[in-house]
Amino acid sequence: MARESEKTATPHKSERVVLRLAVLEMGIYVSITLMAALTVAGNENDSELDVLAVVWGTTFGVALAHWFASGLAGRLTGAGAEHKREILAHLVAAFGVAGLVTLEVWLLPDSVEHSGARFLTAACIGLISLGYSRALGASWAKAIRVAAIALVLASLVAGIKYALGH
C-alpha cells in the first residue's frame, strides 16, 4: 500500500518540478531577449514610454510566438492538461520579468532607466539561474556559484553590447 501512495505522489511532484522549470526557463529566455532588445534599440535619451514599448513589445512578441508554437506542438502530439499548465507557467514568467523591468523603469531616474532595465534583466538571469539550479537539486553553494557566474556573464554581455553600440 505504501508503494501505491509513492507512485501517486511521484507524478504530482514531477509536475510541480516541470512547472517550476518552465517558469525559470522562460524567465531566463525573456531576460536574455529583453537584454538584447534593450541593447539594440534606443539609448539613454529615450523616454520612459520608449523603453516600456521595447520591453512590452518584445515580451508580447516572445509570449505570442511561444504560446502559438507550444500550443501547436501540444495539439500535434496530443499533450494534455499538463502541457496547458506548462504554457501558462511560461506566460506568467514572461510577463513577470516584463513587470519587474517596468517597475524599475518607473522607479529609476530617466537618465539611467534604460541602462537599469538592461542590467535588471541580467540580474534576473542570475536569480533565475539560482532557482533553476536549486530546482535541479544543486546545493545552495553550487546554485549560488552558478547564479554568480550567470550574473557576471550576463552583465558582461550587456556591458560589451552597450559599449559597442555607443
What confidence tier does 12 reach under pLDDT thresholds 50, 70, 90?
Answer: low
Classify residue 131 by burial, with Cβ atoms within 10 Å: 0-12, 13-18, 19+: middle
Per-residue pLDDT reduced to its tens digit, 99-149: 999 999 999 988 888 888 988 998 899 888 998 888 889 999 999 999 999
pLDDT tens-digit map of 63-89: 999 999 888 888 888 877 777 888 999
How confident is the model over 27-67, as pLDDT tens digits? 988 998 898 888 877 676 678 888 899 999 999 999 999 99
E strands, 2-50, are: none
